[in-house]
């Protein structure tokens, strides 16, 4: 048996159906219990809304609005079925065509009016359930509660402990001593570092001595400092040497004879047994 659809029943209730349709519907519901019950449900629904809105003196085209809403909802379902790949955001939402959106907006506008009245006048009535379903459908939401997966916990990179920087290698200590060669001593400093302090002392020892950091080499009556640190460069000259010289490369900067300073740099601090000089550019 073919039943009368809801839209036709609503048109019958709103007296919008043709005379032939009304005769056909009346004859059908007289013999079909299912359609008769549906017609009665819709009649009670319309009557309840009309009764609520009477106090506001507002005409209540509830049946007509519901027809429009249900038609829009059916069009929406048909559109969903025809689209093979409808993008959903977290399982929610549908793509609305402009025509369907206009239909749903009209139904939602009526729903908002009804919601304000029904909420105050008839709490718990079927009207409120219909309004809730209408708004859910407008939003594209299912009646079932949304299950939102918890966001994944942020990945925390293991803490990296920076290793202390390795200390730069320390220059080797230089401590070289030589006796005079036929009474002659020669100390050669190759490219002494700017800012280093040079201290030259007369001693009663039998040998000349060089103490610094870096590298050096020696030969008969001669010491050569090849590399030097920026600290203090200590030189000891024996008083017994006939002639002792200190040179920066090929340039002699100090000369001593028989334990006496004969030639010293002009900016050096000089006394009887010691000369102190700051290396300058």
* pLDDT tens track for 149-176: 556 666 666 666 667 776 666 778 999 9
Cα separation, 269 vs 75, in Å, equals 106
What digits encode the pLDDT tens for the residues 35-94? 889 888 888 877 765 665 555 444 445 555 566 656 666 665 565 555 544 444 444 444
Three-class secondary structure of residue 123 per DSSP: coil
Three-class secondary structure of residue 148 per DSSP: coil
Domain boundaries, given as residue ranges, for the chain = 6-139, 173-278
For residues 120, 122, 127 and 132, what is the CA-based torsion angle, rounded to 10 degrees? 40
What digits encode the pLDDT tens for the residues 122-142? 445 555 555 556 555 554 544
């Amino acid at each position: 048996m073919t039943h009368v659809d809801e839209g036709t029943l609503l048109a019958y209730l709103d007296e919008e159906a043709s005379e032939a349709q009304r005769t056909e519907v009346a004859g059908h519901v007289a013999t079909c219990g299912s359609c008769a019950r549906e017609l009665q449900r819709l009649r009670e629904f319309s009557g309840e809304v009309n009764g609520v809105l009477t106090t506001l003196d507002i005409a209540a085209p509830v049946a007509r609005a519901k027809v429009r809403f249900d038609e829009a909802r059916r069009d929406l379902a048909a559109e969903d079925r025809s689209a093979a790949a409808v993008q959903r955001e977290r399982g929610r939402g549908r793509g609305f065509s402009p025509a369907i959106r206009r239909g749903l907006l009209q139904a939602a506008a009526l729903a908002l009016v009804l919601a304000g009245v029904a909420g105050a006048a008839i709490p718990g009535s079927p009207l409120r359930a219909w309004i809730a379903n209408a708004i859910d459908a407008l939003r594209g939401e299912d009646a079932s509660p949304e299950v939102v997966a918890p966001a994944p916990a942020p990945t925390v990179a293991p803490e990296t402990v920076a290793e202390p920087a390795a200390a730069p290698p320390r220059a080797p200590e230089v401590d070289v001593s030589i006796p005079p060669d036929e009474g002659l001593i020669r100390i050669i400093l190759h490219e002494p570092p700017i800012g280093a302090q040079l201290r030259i002392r007369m001693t009663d020892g039998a040998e000349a001595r060089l103490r610094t950091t870096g590298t050096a080499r020696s030969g008969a009556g001669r010491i050569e400092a090849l590399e030097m640190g920026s600290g203090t460069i200590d030189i000891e000259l024996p008083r017994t040497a006939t002639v002792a010289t200190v040179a920066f490369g090929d340039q002699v900067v100090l000369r001593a004879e028989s334990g006496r300073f004969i030639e010293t740099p002009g900016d050096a601090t000089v006394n009887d047994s010691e000369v102190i000089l700051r290396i300058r550019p």
